């Protein structure tokens, strides 16, 4: 496999932040790749540096050393080719659903008529056609995340970066959004890097799951998930693999608590 077969490539990433005026290493010598069209899950405990990691891939931050490559090119700034979806959706509450989705299209100077066509299409994909004039505060949590996903995919990114996008939702809504996201992934063929602390979610969605340690964050284990789709959170195979991963996650958390003492 040549290096251009890897869509996203992280090489020797180190990142620290100042903590009480001293640098604290958050990510240490992190290496991994995602293939084109892969659904990659990054699983780690809270504070393991997952959000830092996706911000680096998005180009919103730069590593202290090492590099992030997208299609073989160094990532040095944010781009429409890599869109980040946040846990809270980061929507504009004073705008309607349609205006939120149009936001990125406006900054790309896409003509109105073309915008309408694109917005119609994504509203249909996320099942919100009847809510295009609604304001964000009128929507449920699940609907808000649908808008956030619509706002991202309308820009037709090559890579969708998702930072715990469903963590604040109830189990049923999350389940429904898992199905919808999987559908979107199949239809668009985009590469997805999905961050979560929820083991079952990672097994349900991912082609691969990378387990991250904490203090500092590193890839400690990698699991290939070959369970056929559609997968459900209650499937025996999902439950069994989740149990195995959870054991490793617990060991990782214990080890990081020890090292923090
Ligand atoms: P996760 O998303 O896995 O919970 P984060 O990437 O948010 O982890 O944070 C990892 C660590 O880095 C935490 O200890 C957090 O307090 C620290 N951190 C994150 N962002 C900053 C920042 N901008 N400045 C200082 N410390 C930060
Ligand atoms: Mg986070």
Q: What would the two tokens of residue 226 be?
A: 């070959």
Q: Per DSSP, which regions of 197-254 are E strands? A: 208-212, 219-224
CA 109 to chain centre: 26
Buried b (16+ CB within 10 A) or exposed e, 205-214: bbbbbbbbbb
pLDDT for 256 equals 82
Q: What would the two tokens of residue 48 be?
A: 């393991």
Going 210 to 237 to 199 to 149, the CA torsion angle's sign is positive
pTM for the whole structure: 0.95
Q: Which residues line ligand 1 (CB under 6 A)?
A: 17, 26, 44, 46-52
Q: CA–CA distance from 54 to each of 60, 83, 120, 235 (Å)?
A: 9, 10, 29, 29
Q: How far is the centre of ligand 1, averaged over its atoms, from the C-alpha of 181 (Å)? A: 27
pLDDT for 5 equals 64
Q: Among 49, 162, 163, name the best residue to mutate to test ligand 1's pocket (greatest count of ligand atoms within 8 A of Cβ).
A: 49
Q: Whose CA is nearest to atom 13 of ligand 1?
A: 47
Q: Which atom of ligand 1 is closest in space to residue 197's alpha carbon?
A: 3
pLDDT for 184 equals 94
pLDDT for 4 equals 54
Q: How far is the centre of ligand 1, averaged over its atoms, from the C-alpha of 53 (Å)? A: 10
Per-10-residue mean pLDDT, the chain, length 261: 73 95 94 96 94 97 97 95 90 94 88 92 95 95 95 95 95 93 94 97 97 93 95 94 96 84 70
Q: Which atom of ligand 1 is closest in space to residue 48's alpha carbon?
A: 3
Q: Among 26, 60, 194, name the best residue to mutate to test ligand 1's pocket (greatest count of ligand atoms within 8 A of Cβ).
A: 26
| Closest of 226, 220, 251 to residue 241, by C-alpha | 226
Q: How far apart are CA 97 and CA 133, in angstroms?
A: 6
Neighbours of ion ligand 2 (CB under 5 A): 50-51
Ligand closest to CA 256: 1
Q: How many degrees, rounded to 5, is the angle at CA 225 between CA 159 and CA 67? A: 40
Q: How far is the centre of ligand 1, averaged over its atoms, from the C-alpha of 48 (Å)? A: 8
| Residue 132 CB coordination number (10 Å) | 15
Q: Among 51, 54, 165, name the best residue to mutate to test ligand 1's pocket (greatest count of ligand atoms within 8 A of Cβ).
A: 51
């Amino acid at each position: 496999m040549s290096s251009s077969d890897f869509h996203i490539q992280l090489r020797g990433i180190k990142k620290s932040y100042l903590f009480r005026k001293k640098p604290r290493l958050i990510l240490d010598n992190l290496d991994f790749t995602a293939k084109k069209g892969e659904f990659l899950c990054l699983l780690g405990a809270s504070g393991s540096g997952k959000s830092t990691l996706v911000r680096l891939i998005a180009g919103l931050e730069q590593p202290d050393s090492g590099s992030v490559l997208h299609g073989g090119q160094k990532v040095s700034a944010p781009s429409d080719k890599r869109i980040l979806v946040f846990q809270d959706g980061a929507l504009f509450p004073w705008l309607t659903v349609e205006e939120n989705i149009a936001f990125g299209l406006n900054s790309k100077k896409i003509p109105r008529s073309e915008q309408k066509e694109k917005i119609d299409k994504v509203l249909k994909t996320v099942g919100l056609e009847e809510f295009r004039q609604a304001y964000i505060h009128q929507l449920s949590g699940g609907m808000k995340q649908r808008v956030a996903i619509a706002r991202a995919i309308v820009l037709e990114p090559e890579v969708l970066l998702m930072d715990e996008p469903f963590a604040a939702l109830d189990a049923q809504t999350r389940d429904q959004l898992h199905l919808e996201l999987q559908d979107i992934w199949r239809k668009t063929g985009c590469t997805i890097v999905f961050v979560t602390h929820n083991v079952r979610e990672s097994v349900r969605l991912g082609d691969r799951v990378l387990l991250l340690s904490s203090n500092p964050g590193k890839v400690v284990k990698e699991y290939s998930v070959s369970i056929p789709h559609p997968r459900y959170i209650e499937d025996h195979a999902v439950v069994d693999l989740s149990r195995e991963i959870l054991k490793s996650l617990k060991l990782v958390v214990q080890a990081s608590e020890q090292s923090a003492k």
